[in-house]
Amino acid sequence: MSAMKAKHQRLVLVVVALVALVGAGLLAAYALRNQANYFYLPEQMQADPPEVGQAVRLGGMVEAGSLITDPDGVTLRFTVTGNDGSRVPVRFSGIAPDLFVEGSGVVAEGRLEADGTFVADNLLAKHDENYVPKELEGMTQAQAAKMAEETTVGIE
Amino acid sequence: MIAEIGHAALWLAAALAALQMLAGFLAVNAGGEGDVARLVRPTAIMQGVLASVAFAMLLWLFATTDLSVKLVAANSHSMKPMIFKLAGAWGNHEGSMLLWVTVMSLAGGLIALVERRLPERTMQATLAAQGLVSLGFYAFLILSSNPFERLPVPAPEGMGLNPLLQDIGLAFHPPTLYIGYVGLSVAFSFAVGALLTRQVTPDFASAMRPWVLGAWVFLTIGITAGSYWAYYELGWGGWWFWDPVENASLMPWLAATALLHSASVLASRDALRIWTIMLGVVAFSMSMVGTFLVRSGILTSVHAFAVDPERGTFILILLALFIGGALLLFALRANTINEGERFAIASREGALVFNNVMLSAILAIVLLGTLYPLLTEAFDVRVSVGPPYFNPVGAIFAVPMFLVMAVGPLLRWRQDRLDRIRPEIALFAAVVIAALIWFGLVMDVAILPLLGLALAVGLGVASFMPLRGRKLTRVPLATWGMVVAHFGIAVALLGMASESAFSEERLAAVQEGGTTTVGPWTITLREVVPVAGPNWTATEAHILASYDGGEPVYLGPQARNFWAPPQETTESALATRWNGQLYAVVGDRAPDGRWQVRLWWKPLVTLIWFGGLLVAVGGVLALLGRVVADLRRRSIARKIVERRSEEEAFARSQAQEASA
């Protein structure tokens, strides 16, 4: 290597860097195809359900009057509805996020069980007055319009 | 009046940035001399002063809650504690952009003031580039995000600051991060300047290095602080979410880390010229990409910033101009830069190059994972990418990087043999394998945390090996910096892996007076009471937590309700021991009167941030070492000049005497 010509070494470095970066890119592309969390609306989940156990997100409105707490005190059950009245039952164990209430939008991260219940590991609700999870845009037009005209306060 | 002074200062600073750019480029054309050339440095300094004035005026407006200013009315409230009034100045889009340009012009002013090592012509090209970049951001600020805009009618009361941001973390987190982001603009300008004048020399690298080090230290602190803040403030028990905004701060850090190391090679060995220039361009480009991602509102993020397509387009154009321009210049000039010194694969340079490439690969993976949702959205497929992608794919490159990082500092420059350091390699391998066996077979840890634990332990030992056989009092400060920073990486890695491998969680509904357990802790919920703060009310749980039957510790997690703007937040409570943290959150009341309590026992989790701080301390040590060496060099140079002039004076007087 030490006997290598100067031009030659630069070439080797460039090739090594390119190979690593292209490798990283291909690896990323491959992994992203397989591992991305897909987003489902309730109607999509009913028409074309994801595989049981596959990590996906479900986004919709929490149906009014559907929220019940199990006897253990920490398991929530509720129904998420879509635009056309389709409904998906959801089970969630944990502390619901701030401002998670019936009639508001929610994105549930989790997986579908064999009996058709969606088991959520995590609930993403509105963070504050101005923030709507991006996936909910278009579903709650009033909020989206409000968000567009107001400046959202944020963190950097 | 205050707002008008700020606004005027901003315009003047923008005009000076334009002047700095024009004068700089003219001076470069004129060979770096003449009246125009003498204009460049003072202009840059003055521009820094004016931008600071504008920022000071904004702080003033927030301190006095001047509700006739739109930004104050939208983001502040007269009832807020003073520290949050001030912090609110940069807790919004316009204010934080003003902070951005202020830091950028201060950095430009500072290099104009103190940097004397480089050829004057390269300095002028650098300052011209800095002026150009600043000008773009001034235009963005003034044309699309003016922080000093007045309301036609003053608001009766402010809208308040997002309660999540009403935390002491906000006072420090954004400014540190910004100094880091924008400090990298100096590296960018240096790179452009060096390309323009084709002066890619070791001098250039040693002039650039302290600036990169400084920016990198701030980035490290900013990321570490941000992570801890998210950890205790969001109440989810997580310390890193692979959120786009977190990635936006991680990407410049990765690039700056690579740049730091390659600048070292260039400074001490005159190798890796082109690679260093490239990284200088990439590092600041990543800062700008991050800004674009955050400001344009095109990504889903807990860091919800303004959703404004006009601003997004503006930043995208700036981004394309700056990054595209720099890359074009790079493409045109790269082949005219001579090859640097050669080196063997088994050498310090070889190890550094390898790790630079690995860092770049990780950077590419984070970038692709962050941008992928944007790409698919164009085809109306909504996707979010999270830990199942970032963790394993990143690890593929991180693991070899950590392995090389353990032995690289032991190698000699230029050419070395691996068998010379065989005992050290054997020790490192033995530690790693022992840890793999212990954690993998005995404790049955999953693969990624297992690798993390083993590498962390091995790296912790290996990071001190460069000191072996050396007299500790004579080791240079910069070497200590490297040792401490590498050890900090090992410590942080140990914390991350331990958190992921050994965390225990308990979610329970507990009645007042009831008890539950998590890990070695026994937790008793004494009572739940209402409390009130200056601008919020809350329910607070009084919890007594006892570790392994020992003396109980009091914890008071709260569920807070803010009224300006109306919002609920969970305030977690932490019990910190040397070996980990108990994390408690109180939730809603179940219909039967029990309270939801969520508890985590996270062994060694604090090491994550402690390690991050160690990395920063290492950076500070290295920076001090460089600055001290530079000051010494300058004073020697001055003494030589003095001595020479004395000798000349003496010779002249001798000659006069002789002629008399």
Query: With helix as H, strand as E and coil as C, how does B166-200 read?
Result: CCHHHHHHHHHHHHHHHHHHHHHHHHHHHHHHCCC
The pLDDT value recorded for residue A149 is 33
B181 pLDDT higher than 50? yes
**Sequence-separated (6 or more) residues with CB below 8 Å from residue B170:** A155, B84, B87, B91, B229
B284 pLDDT higher than 90? yes
- The mean pLDDT of B441-460, rounded to a whole number, is 92
- The mean pLDDT of B441-465, rounded to a whole number, is 92
Burial class of residue B419 (count of CB atoms within 10 Å of its CB; 0-12, 13-18, 19+): exposed
Domain boundary among B161, B194, B215: B161
Mapped onto helix, strand or coil, the DSSP state of residue B521 is strand
Which chain B residue lies closest to A123 (C-alpha atoms)? Answer: B236
In a domain, residue B579? The reply is yes
- On average, the pLDDT of chain B sits at 88
CB count within 10 Å of CB B37 equals 20
Q: What residues in B contact A31, CB-CB < 8 Å?
A: 389, 392-393
A44 pLDDT higher than 60? yes
In a domain, residue B368? The reply is no
C-alpha gyration radius of chain B: 28
CB contact under 8 A, A6 and B342: yes
Portion of chain B with pLDDT greater than 70, in percent = 95
Q: How do beta strands B504-510 and B595-603 pair?
A: antiparallel
CB contact under 8 A, B361 and A20: yes
A133 pLDDT higher than 70? no
The pLDDT value recorded for residue B437 is 93
Q: How far is the CA of B627 from the CAs of A107, B76, B207, B619, B632, in angstroms?
A: 51, 41, 10, 12, 8
Q: What residues in A contact B596, CB-CB < 8 Å?
A: 73-74, 95
Least reliable range by pLDDT among A127-131, B240-244, B566-570 = A127-131
B106 touches B45 (CB < 8 A): no
Instruction: Show the 3-state SS of B372-402.
Output: HHHHHHHCCCCEECCHHHHHHHHHHHHHHHH
Instruction: Show the 3-state SS of B593-604.
Output: CCEEEEEEEEEC
Query: Cβ of B588 under 8 Å from any chain A Cβ?
Result: yes
B224 touches B249 (CB < 8 A): no
Give backbone dihedrals phi and psi of B449, rounded to 5 degrees, phi first.
-60, -35
More confident residue, B313 or B183: B183
CA distance B528 to B540: 6
A88 pLDDT higher than 80? yes
Q: What residues in A contact B92, CB-CB < 8 Å?
A: 151, 153-154
Residues, chain A: 156
Closest to B206 in 3D by CA, of B124, B260, B271, B263: B263
Q: Name the DSSP class of B250.
A: H
- The mean pLDDT of A29-53, rounded to a whole number, is 77
- Best B97, B146, B342, B512 residue to mutate vs chain A (most A CBs within 10 Å): B342
- The mean pLDDT of B310-317, rounded to a whole number, is 79
**Sequence-separated (6 or more) residues with CB below 8 Å from residue A141:** none
Confidence band for B178, pLDDT divided at 50, 70 and 90: confident
Smallest Cβ distance to B567: which of A21, A129, A152?
A: A129
B424 pLDDT higher than 80? yes
Q: What's the distance, CA B420 to chain centroid? A: 37
Closest to B408 in 3D by CA, of B391, B396, B421: B421
Which chain B residue lies closest to A10 (C-alpha atoms)? Answer: B339
Q: How far is the CA of B27 from the CAs of B37, B116, B261, in angstroms?
A: 5, 17, 32
- The mean pLDDT of B152-175, rounded to a whole number, is 74
Q: How close is the nearest chain A Cα to the Cα of B507, in Å?
A: 6
| Highest-confidence segment of A13-27, B324-338, B478-492, B580-594 | B478-492
A142 pLDDT higher than 50? no
Task: Name the A residues in 93-152 with CB < 8 Å from any B CB.
Answer: 93-96, 98-99, 127-131, 133-135, 147-148, 151-152
CA distance A100 to B187: 46
**Sequence-separated (6 or more) residues with CB below 8 Å from residue B275:** A13, A17, B262, B353, B356
- The mean pLDDT of B163-176, rounded to a whole number, is 74
CA distance A97 to A58: 16
CA distance B528 to B593: 11
CB contact under 8 A, B382 and A7: no
Which residue type is seen at B260? L
Smallest Cβ distance to B306: which of A39, A134, A152?
A: A152
In a domain, residue B267? The reply is no
CB contact under 8 A, A6 and B386: no
Confidence band for B431, pLDDT divided at 50, 70 and 90: very high
- The mean pLDDT of A66-75, rounded to a whole number, is 84
Least reliable range by pLDDT among A31-40, B17-26, B358-367, B390-399 = A31-40
CB count within 10 Å of CB A129 equals 18
Q: How do beta strands B566-571 and B558-563 pair?
A: antiparallel
Instruction: Specify which residues A60 forms β-bridges with.
Output: A106
The pLDDT value recorded for residue A37 is 54
Mapped onto helix, strand or coil, the DSSP state of residue B436 is helix
The CA-based angle A139-A143-A148, given to 5 degrees, is: 110
Smallest Cβ distance to B568: which of A29, A73, A99?
A: A99
Query: Cβ of B418 under 8 Å from any chain A Cβ?
Result: no
Q: What residues in A contact B587, CB-CB < 8 Å?
A: 74, 95-96
Smallest Cβ distance to A95: which of B361, B362, B585?
A: B585
Q: How close is the nearest chain A Cα to the Cα of B594, in Å?
A: 7
The CA-based angle A125-A127-A131, given to 5 degrees, is: 100
- The mean pLDDT of B383-394, rounded to a whole number, is 84
The pLDDT value recorded for residue A156 is 24
Domain extent, residue B544, equals: 504-604
Which chain A residue lies closest to B584 (C-alpha atoms)? Answer: A95
> Which tokens belong to B610?
């402690």
- The mean pLDDT of B40-59, rounded to a whole number, is 94
Q: What residues in A contact B305, CB-CB < 8 Å?
A: 152, 154, 156
B406 touches B355 (CB < 8 A): no
Q: What residues in B contact A23, CB-CB < 8 Å?
A: 361
B404 touches B351 (CB < 8 A): yes
- The mean pLDDT of B24-32, rounded to a whole number, is 85
Portion of chain A with pLDDT greater than 90, in percent = 7
Residues, chain B: 660
Which chain A residue lies closest to B248 (C-alpha atoms)? Answer: A156
Q: How close is the nearest chain A Cα to the Cα of B477, in Å?
A: 31
In a domain, residue B287? The reply is no
- Best B62, B247, B262, B307 residue to mutate vs chain A (most A CBs within 10 Å): B307
- The mean pLDDT of B483-497, rounded to a whole number, is 96
Domain boundary among B107, B132, B161: B161
The pLDDT value recorded for residue A151 is 27
CA distance B531 to B571: 13
The pLDDT value recorded for residue B163 is 67
DSSP string of chain A, one letter each residue: -TTS-HHHHHHHHHHHHHHHHHHHHHHHHHHHHHHPEEEE-HHHHHHSPPPTT--EEEEEEEPTT--EE-TTSSEEEEEEE-TTS-EEEEEEESPPPTT--TTSEEEEEEEE-TTS-EEEEEEEE--STT---GGGTTTSHHHHHHHHHSPPP---
CB contact under 8 A, B365 and A7: no
Confidence band for B309, pLDDT divided at 50, 70 and 90: low
Task: Name the B residues in 344-363 with CB < 8 Å from any A CB.
Answer: 344-345, 353, 357-358, 360-362
Least reliable range by pLDDT among A130-139, B93-102, B271-280, B611-620 = A130-139
The pLDDT value recorded for residue A7 is 58
Q: How close is the nearest chain B Cα to the Cα of A35, in Å?
A: 6
Which chain A residue lies closest to B346 (C-alpha atoms)? Answer: A1
The CA-based angle A128-A132-A133, given to 5 degrees, is: 120
CA distance A118 to B566: 31
- The mean pLDDT of B23-44, rounded to a whole number, is 86
The pLDDT value recorded for residue B289 is 87
B220 touches B253 (CB < 8 A): yes
Closest to B101 in 3D by CA, of B139, B147, B137: B137
**Of all helices (H) and strands (E), which one includes residue B258?**
helix B244-269
A1 pLDDT higher than 60? no
B384 touches A37 (CB < 8 A): yes
More confident residue, B381 or A88: A88
In a domain, residue B300? The reply is no
CB count within 10 Å of CB B253 equals 24
Confidence band for B162, pLDDT divided at 50, 70 and 90: low
Burial class of residue B654 (count of CB atoms within 10 Å of its CB; 0-12, 13-18, 19+): exposed
Instruction: List the beta strands (DSSP E) in B513-579.
Output: 515-518, 521-532, 536-547, 553-555, 558-563, 566-571, 573-577
Domain boundary among B161, B195, B226: B161
B584 touches B555 (CB < 8 A): yes
CA distance B418 to B499: 35
Q: What residues in B contact A156, CB-CB < 8 Å?
A: 90, 96, 174, 177-178, 245, 294, 303, 305
DSSP string of B106-134, one letter each residue: HHHHHHHHH--SS-HHHHHHHHHHHHHHH
The pLDDT value recorded for residue A138 is 45
CB count within 10 Å of CB B455 equals 29
B522 pLDDT higher than 90? yes
CB contact under 8 A, B177 and A156: yes
> Which tokens belong to B209?
């290095």
B137 pLDDT higher than 60? yes
CB contact under 8 A, B368 and A152: no
The pLDDT value recorded for residue B359 is 95
CA distance B258 to B188: 14
- The mean pLDDT of B307-315, rounded to a whole number, is 72
CA distance A85 to B526: 45
B4 pLDDT higher than 70? yes
In a domain, residue B563? The reply is yes
pLDDT in tens, B205-245: 988 999 999 999 999 999 998 899 888 877 777 889 888 88
Smallest Cβ distance to A4: which of B174, B342, B364?
A: B342
**Of all helices (H) and strands (E), which one includes residue B222?**
helix B202-233
Confidence band for B298, pLDDT divided at 50, 70 and 90: low
CA distance B252 to B182: 10
Q: What residues in B contact A73, CB-CB < 8 Å?
A: 508-509, 590, 592, 594, 596
- Check: complex ipTM more than 0.85: no
Task: Name the A residues in 20-39 with CB < 8 Å from any B CB.
Answer: 20-21, 23-25, 27-29, 31-32, 35-39
Q: How close is the nearest chain A Cα to the Cα of B333, in Å?
A: 15
Smallest Cβ distance to B508: which of A74, A133, A156?
A: A74
Q: How close is the nearest chain B Cα to the Cα of A8, in Å?
A: 10
C-alpha gyration radius of chain A: 23
Closest to B330 in 3D by CA, of B278, B271, B258: B278
- Best B76, B162, B411 residue to mutate vs chain A (most A CBs within 10 Å): B162
Which chain A residue lies closest to B73 (C-alpha atoms)? Answer: A151
Confidence band for A125, pLDDT divided at 50, 70 and 90: low
Q: What residues in A contact B161, CB-CB < 8 Å?
A: 153
B94 touches B71 (CB < 8 A): yes
More confident residue, B563 or A22: A22
In a domain, residue B322? The reply is no
Smallest Cβ distance to A128: which of B383, B508, B565?
A: B565
Smallest Cβ distance to B303: which of A32, A35, A155?
A: A155
- The mean pLDDT of B107-129, rounded to a whole number, is 89
Number of domains in chain B: 2
CB count within 10 Å of CB B531 equals 12
CA distance B482 to B490: 12
In a domain, residue B447? The reply is no
